[in-house]
Amino acid sequence: MYTTGTDTVANLKEVNKSKDLTNNKYEVKYPDQLDNGLLLAAFVINLIVLVCSCWLVIPLAWMIPMTVSSYRAYKGIRPNTVALGVCTLIFFDLIGGILMLCAPKNN
């Protein structure tokens, strides 16, 4: 049986509609910190420090996961805890850590 390109597109749209999108592991769990300006500034500063210190191989082992955690906290996927702010303050950079400590917390 021959199918045209529009039939294939229509079938894909039906398949996408029937997928259950509620089982997304990256859903927003903390809407009060979603798109917070302080967390965005902390993430951008963490990213700049990460790029500037890319020649330091061993510190990248904790800088990369902390940058990912700060992005997830900005997007509301991960809670912004005091521990994340203190670890960013001690092991990463002062400004990003202070911004994360000043941002809304989820315990």
pLDDT in tens, the chain (107 residues): 455 555 554 554 454 444 444 455 667 777 777 778 889 999 999 999 999 998 888 888 889 999 999 999 988 888 889 999 999 999 989 999 999 999 988 76
The predicted model scores a pTM of: 0.70
Residue 8 domain-assigned (yes or no): no
Report pLDDT for 21.
47
Report pLDDT for 12.
46
Residue 5 domain-assigned (yes or no): no
Residue 102 domain-assigned (yes or no): yes
Domain that includes residue 105, residue range: 31-107
Closest CA to 73 of 25, 45, 32: 32
Number of domains in the chain: 1
Residue 79 domain-assigned (yes or no): yes
Residue 13 domain-assigned (yes or no): no
Residue 99 domain-assigned (yes or no): yes
Report pLDDT for 107.
60
Residue 75 domain-assigned (yes or no): yes
Residue 5 burial (CB count, 10 A): 7
Report pLDDT for 106.
72
Given its phi and psi angles, is residue 42 left (phi above 0), alpha (psi -120 to 50 degrees) or beta?
Answer: alpha
